[in-house]
Chain A
């Protein structure tokens, strides 16, 4: 079977567009959207299961499938418009490559996802994994103006557009952001950019978790507007204590005004990071998320952070934790038995806290699903949506889990 698929794919894509992964599974690496749709159409016609991959740095490439489809050869930055602050980028382009290209033109994508800098843009969008900058610039959905996806049966569907404001048709982009590839393979995205900030200052406060969550609340109550306000566990920050990191970006005058006011807020001592260490600090925090095989995202508000970290500590641990001290949201990384995570999900659900499985080995994803159980009525809608984007159920994505 594997040889047949390999041969059929080579006939479709040529020798350079197909390889085998470490287990011998054929992997297609199409370099155009049309080629990607041809692969999907073939898989749909033959009833083959597809494992969707980006650059292979976030989700493990371990979902059982007849073939893998990687977007890593779709890595072009198609267009960048400094005047309009919009970029069109293929899904396989890395976040770091895009960052460099934009910086050359004085622009910036205000997104700092967890994981490695060479993660693909498609992976960040499909998993909606926003980093600390969500405090000031919102979740991933706020940065995506439109996208093109290949459906499981090989159609190419466009959603949204390249303009900042657009309500033409249903907002199908929202379904793709955080859809984990269950509604098609993201081929290309249109991104909202910002001018590269003139000033970018990070300050750190160290102390107990209680003291720092209080400091975070006081900072927000004082009407300061940090771009990031992230509480990092000692292991994640590679420090002896918990760390609260406040980042201010913008014009020089505005940032300096915020930094001056920060000194008068609360009891903690804020120490500015030297500019040459700022990027490294945030990079360590982002990469620290890969310090265990499983990453969870807990949807809490700012005032629920402390209590929810207690819950994590009780049900799992508080090893690698990153939490939004202002807007909320907690990211946990570690290892745990499936039953423990299931128990955490139940406890969190009782508190109305959604727990999304952002990253895990297949056996965990398969058992728990990225989302777990849906609320009443939602499962039926999601089922129909998946049927419409993948009528042959070729895309092997565990949204709901086996429960």
Chain B
């Protein structure tokens, strides 16, 4: 990265907050996905919206691309930058600016850690509902970029359902405000459009979120099944009964085995083919009534045993295995490729069979922990990336799993985003016209395509590109 740009960046944030030496940059070479690696040209760490604005203005002036980054916990390679690109790390912008407990709104900076927000508003009887597994580290700004989900999104919705307004620095350095505290847009729903745009429409510097009230009563149930199919059918039966649990999570045998062999052991039955966690919340009497119905459904669908917990300590024990599943898998191999795909709920049993078949074909260790209620799968492949042959098989297996999910009528990502990891799969679910429309929408925010270039939309698959190719041929 050229010295004069580094000097200019240092003038904005102070030299302490500009990193450019190779050893310093190594921290930012990956996100949570170990299959992609790239060193940025420089890292700059602003502490205010004003500094973000100045940085982006400067980069726009000299036409240098940039990538915004939160905690780097993403799982799609979305927050990686190359040597020609400046990485803007937003972790210093970590203040909760205001909380309105009556109207259940909070205004915060993008670097606020997801779980910290819930901790801060907990004394007011409130919490922030989207709860990605990385919530103790990931930032709300990153959640906005990826439209992050989590176990409790079945009932309460994903990030987009909880963001009502944004202050945004556009890629030309100008600032604009989108949405309103009330949630009613001023004009077209640009907040809805911005959330999940993976940092390609600009940088959110102030985020207004909707908070939820901590429910009066919570009941967590753990059921184990001898087949994944029986567990999946129980999921569908619960939903068909008109019950929308706060969470409806499944873990397969491989995942349970990993958890139970770790320090996070939660007493899950290791001989079960699948374990189902069901959480109900709401007003006490209503929760009890629904819990009775759910227990009946679970038993009628073949659950061997149903454990139930209503105290915080007992519920935490039942959740422990699920929450720490990714950590437990870390014991199996040095690296973990956490995948993310969605299928229609009815396709769950068949897709699980196919994943098992793919696992056998490639001789890999795959464990599944997923949001069964909304068909959002997380097949996780444990491997050692120092072995190129294994890494190649991991890539192949990921590709085959994605293809199977798409063939089942699903999507290539439910909550992790496309980033650069799934760029090649986008033409599987969107035609050239639709990809072209996405690119045009991106250019409405960022005409010179400086923000997070090369992600999400494979330009070579867009309509305009196809037209150029056909002209040349």
Binding site for B on A (CB under 8 A): 81-86, 106, 128, 138-139, 141-142, 151, 155-159, 161-172, 174-175, 177-179, 182-183, 194-198, 223-225, 250-258, 260-261, 297-304, 328-329, 352-354, 356, 371, 374-378, 381-382, 384-385, 387-389, 399
Contact for A170 among B197, B242, B346, CB less than 8 A: B197
What is the CA–CA distance of A67 and B419 in the complex, to the nearest angstrom? 42
A331 CB to closest chain B CB (Å) equals: 11
What is the CA–CA distance of A156 and B433 in the complex, to the nearest angstrom? 7
Q: Is the CB of A251 within 8 A of B236?
A: no
Q: Is the CB of B149 within 8 A of A168?
A: no
Q: Is the CB of A167 within 8 A of B192?
A: no
Contact for B289 among A164, A197, A253, A381, CB less than 8 A: A253
Q: A170-B197, A381-B444 are in contact. Are A162 and B409 (CB under 8 A)?
A: yes
List of 7 A-B pairs having minimum Cβ-Cβ separation, nearest first:
A299-B184, A253-B289, A174-B192, A377-B176, A257-B285, A388-B440, A254-B286
Q: Is the CB of A194 within 8 A of B244?
A: yes
Number of A-B contacts (CB under 8 A): 261
Residue B182 CB within 8 A of the other chain: yes
Which residues of chain B from 160 to 178 have any CB-CB distance to chain A below 8 Å in the complex?
160-161, 170, 174-178
Which of B170, B188, B216 counts the most chain A CB atoms within 10 A? Answer: B188
Q: A257-B283, A260-B285 are in contact. Are A83 and B183 (CB under 8 A)?
A: no
What is the CA–CA distance of A298 and B180 in the complex, to the nearest angstrom? 12
Q: Is the CB of B242 within 8 A of A174?
A: no
Residue B442 CB within 8 A of the other chain: yes
Q: A157-B433, A171-B195, A299-B183 are in contact. Are A166 and B344 (CB under 8 A)?
A: no
| Supplied contacts A167-B411, A195-B241, 6 more A-B pairs, CB within 8 Å | A81-B344, A159-B437, A172-B438, A354-B182, A377-B176, A378-B190
Which of B186, B213, B409 counts the most chain A CB atoms within 10 A? Answer: B186
Q: Is the CB of B190 within 8 A of A381?
A: yes
What is the CA–CA distance of A344 and B94 in the complex, to the nearest angstrom? 38
Which residues of chain B from 269 to 324 have any CB-CB distance to chain A below 8 Å in the complex?
282-286, 288-290, 292-293
Which of A183, A254, A382, A384 counts the most chain B CB atoms within 10 A? Answer: A254
Q: Chain A residues near B197: list those with CB within 8 A.
A: 170-171
B322 CB to closest chain A CB (Å) equals: 17
Q: A82-B240, A167-B414, A196-B242 are in contact. Are A297 and B184 (CB under 8 A)?
A: yes
Residue B375 CB within 8 A of the other chain: yes
The residue on A at minimum CB distance from B442 is: A170
Q: Chain B residues near A377: list those with CB within 8 A.
A: 170, 174-177
Which of A166, A256, A328 counts the most chain B CB atoms within 10 A? Answer: A166
Q: Is the CB of B444 within 8 A of A251?
A: no
Q: Is the CB of A163 within 8 A of B430?
A: no
Interface string of B119-162 (1 = CB under 8 A from A): 00000000000000000000000000011010001000110110
B49 CB to closest chain A CB (Å) equals: 14
Q: Chain B residues near A387: list those with CB within 8 A.
A: 444
The residue on B at minimum CB distance from A250 is: B242
The residue on A at minimum CB distance from B148 is: A167
Q: Is the CB of B375 within 8 A of A163?
A: yes
Q: Is the CB of B149 within 8 A of A354?
A: no
Q: Is the CB of B103 within 8 A of A158?
A: no
What is the CA–CA distance of A250 and B244 in the complex, to the nearest angstrom? 9
The dominant DSSP class at the A interface is loop
Q: A258-B283, A261-B283 are in contact. Are A161 and B411 (CB under 8 A)?
A: yes
A124 CB to closest chain B CB (Å) equals: 15
Interface string of B407-434 (1 = CB under 8 A from A): 0011111111110001000100111011
Q: Is the CB of B426 within 8 A of A169?
A: yes
Contact for B374 among A165, A371, A399, CB less than 8 A: A165
Q: Chain B residues near A389: list those with CB within 8 A.
A: 437, 440
Q: Chain A residues near B147: list those with CB within 8 A.
A: 167, 171
Interface string of B211-238 (1 = CB under 8 A from A): 0010110000000000000000000100
Which of A197, A223, A298, A356 counts the most chain B CB atoms within 10 A? Answer: A223
Q: Is the CB of B176 within 8 A of A376?
A: yes
What is the CA–CA distance of A155 and B466 in the complex, to the nearest angstrom? 15
What is the CA–CA distance of A96 and B21 in the complex, to the nearest angstrom? 64
Contact for A167 among B184, B215, B415, CB less than 8 A: B415
Residue B24 CB within 8 A of the other chain: no
Residue B40 CB within 8 A of the other chain: no
Contact for B240 among A195, A224, A375, A378, CB less than 8 A: A195
B67 CB to closest chain A CB (Å) equals: 17
What is the CA–CA distance of A225 and B443 in the complex, to the nearest angstrom? 42
What is the CA–CA distance of A303 and B182 in the complex, to the nearest angstrom? 11
Q: A175-B193, A253-B286, A302-B103 are in contact. Are A164 and B181 (CB under 8 A)?
A: no
Interface string of B434-473 (1 = CB under 8 A from A): 1111101111110100000000110000010000000000
Contact for A158 among B190, B288, B375, B434, CB less than 8 A: B434
Q: Chain B residues near A329: list those with CB within 8 A.
A: 182, 184
Which of B103, B147, B289 counts the most chain A CB atoms within 10 A? Answer: B289
What is the CA–CA distance of A250 and B282 in the complex, to the nearest angstrom? 12
What is the CA–CA distance of A163 and B157 in the complex, to the nearest angstrom? 13
What is the CA–CA distance of A253 and B410 in the complex, to the nearest angstrom? 34
Q: Is the CB of B290 within 8 A of A254?
A: yes
Q: Is the CB of B375 within 8 A of A257?
A: no
What is the CA–CA distance of A171 and B431 in the complex, to the nearest angstrom? 15
Q: Chain A residues near B239: list those with CB within 8 A.
A: 85, 195
Residue B23 CB within 8 A of the other chain: no
Q: Chain B residues near A171: list those with CB within 8 A.
A: 147, 160, 192-193, 195-197
What is the CA–CA distance of A378 and B189 in the complex, to the nearest angstrom? 11
The residue on A at minimum CB distance from B192 is: A174
The residue on A at minimum CB distance from B195 is: A171
Contact for B290 among A251, A256, A301, CB less than 8 A: A251
What is the CA–CA distance of A56 and B410 in the complex, to the nearest angstrom? 35
Q: Chain A residues near B443: list those with CB within 8 A.
A: 384, 388
What is the CA–CA distance of A139 and B374 in the complex, to the nearest angstrom? 20
Q: Chain A residues near B200: list those with CB within 8 A.
A: 170
Q: Is the CB of A174 within 8 A of B216?
A: no
The residue on B at minimum CB distance from A134 is: B183
What is the CA–CA distance of A309 and B444 in the complex, to the nearest angstrom? 37
Q: Is the CB of B188 within 8 A of A382?
A: yes
Which of B216, B242, B429 counts the most chain A CB atoms within 10 A? Answer: B242
B290 CB to closest chain A CB (Å) equals: 6
Q: Is the CB of B293 within 8 A of A378?
A: no
Q: Chain B residues near A384: list those with CB within 8 A.
A: 443-444, 447
What is the CA–CA distance of A194 and B154 in the complex, to the nearest angstrom? 12
What is the CA–CA distance of A270 and B188 in the complex, to the nearest angstrom? 38
B216 CB to closest chain A CB (Å) equals: 5
Residue B19 CB within 8 A of the other chain: no
Residue B371 CB within 8 A of the other chain: yes
The residue on B at minimum CB distance from A299 is: B184
Q: A167-B413, A170-B441 are in contact. Are A301 and B286 (CB under 8 A)?
A: no
What is the CA–CA distance of A141 and B195 in the complex, to the nearest angstrom? 13
What is the CA–CA distance of A168 and B242 in the complex, to the nearest angstrom? 28
A117 CB to closest chain B CB (Å) equals: 23
Q: Is the CB of B190 within 8 A of A195?
A: no
Q: Is the CB of A371 within 8 A of B376?
A: no
Q: Chain A residues near B410: list those with CB within 8 A.
A: 161, 163
Residue B388 CB within 8 A of the other chain: no
A81 CB to closest chain B CB (Å) equals: 7
Q: Chain B residues near A399: list those with CB within 8 A.
A: 187-188
Q: Chain B residues near A388: list those with CB within 8 A.
A: 437, 440-441, 443-444
Q: Is the CB of B426 within 8 A of A168?
A: yes
What is the CA–CA distance of A260 and B288 in the complex, to the nearest angstrom? 15
Q: Chain A residues near B185: list those with CB within 8 A.
A: 178, 299, 354
Q: Is the CB of B418 within 8 A of A169?
A: yes
Q: Is the CB of B286 within 8 A of A258?
A: yes
Q: Is the CB of B186 within 8 A of A374?
A: yes
Q: A81-B344, A151-B437, A375-B177 are in contact. Are A300 and B430 (CB under 8 A)?
A: no
What is the CA–CA distance of A209 and B244 in the complex, to the nearest angstrom? 34
